[in-house]
Amino acid sequence: MVRQAAAFGLDGLPGIRSLRLPGQASLSDNPSVGRLVYLKYTEYEACWTDSLNVFSKDGLLHGSFDRFAASNKVKKGTTEVDNAFLAEIESWRSIFAHNIALRNPRLSQRELNFAVQRTIDRLIFLRICEDRGIEEYGKLLGYLNGENVYKRLCSLFREADDHYNSGLFHFREEKGRGEAPDGMTLSLSIDDKCSKI
């Protein structure tokens, strides 16, 4: 069963009090994200026949586990990774919006929205670059340690402007470029605790 589960990227974590079958790895620390099965010990008896059909030697040999793994996309107590990620981004948006509005009271609503979204987009872009080996892995995390986090992140954003030459990182005038550079977000005041989300 362990080899069969590993072939599908599933790992059973049996315990006396519960049985948990996690699915895909999540982007969250929440253990319910991507979980396929969670049974409390009080539910074992009621689910015994179904569990036996799926996880027994016969069930494995006759493909019951394969069908179970293929059919269990989203069940009770689970969340798709994409939905969890979007929810996490939404919480970042709220945290950044409150903090940026508090520390930069002269911003208009439009400027606030731009600053929040652009900051999140930059962080996600750089994190994806790390994950794909385009940027040094862990570089972004290194900027989050210590004080003056946002000011140090801004230096990373400037490096990205030189490296990627994209609208996401556009801080100075460039010949032939139609859009004005972002002269606002690098001068924002953002609390360290907020920048570490």
Only one residue has tokens 């991507």, namely: 34
| Predicted local confidence at residue 37, as pLDDT | 66
58 shares a domain with 138: no
Q: Which domain holds residue 172?
A: 81-195
Q: Is the pLDDT of residue 77 over 70?
A: no
66 with 85, same domain: the answer is no
Model confidence band, residue 87 (pLDDT cutoffs 50, 70, 90): confident
Per-range mean pLDDT, top range of 5-14, 21-30, 151-160: 151-160
| pLDDT recorded at residue 38 | 66
Higher pLDDT, 162 or 28: 162
Q: Output the pLDDT for position 35.
A: 56
- The pLDDT score that the predictor gives to residue 28 is 46
Same domain, 112 and 182: yes
Per this entry, what is the length of the chain? Answer: 197
Backbone angles phi, psi at 194, to 5 degrees: -70, -40
Same domain, yes or no: 21 and 85:
no
- Clarify whether residues 105 and 14 are in a common domain: no
Find all residues with CB under 8 Å of 1, minimum gap 6, and list them: 12, 55, 60, 65
User: How sure is the predictor about 15, in pLDDT bands with cuts at 50, 70 and 90?
Assistant: very low
Is residue 76 assigned to a domain?
A: no
High-pLDDT (> 90) share of the chain, %: 31
Overall domain count for the chain:
2
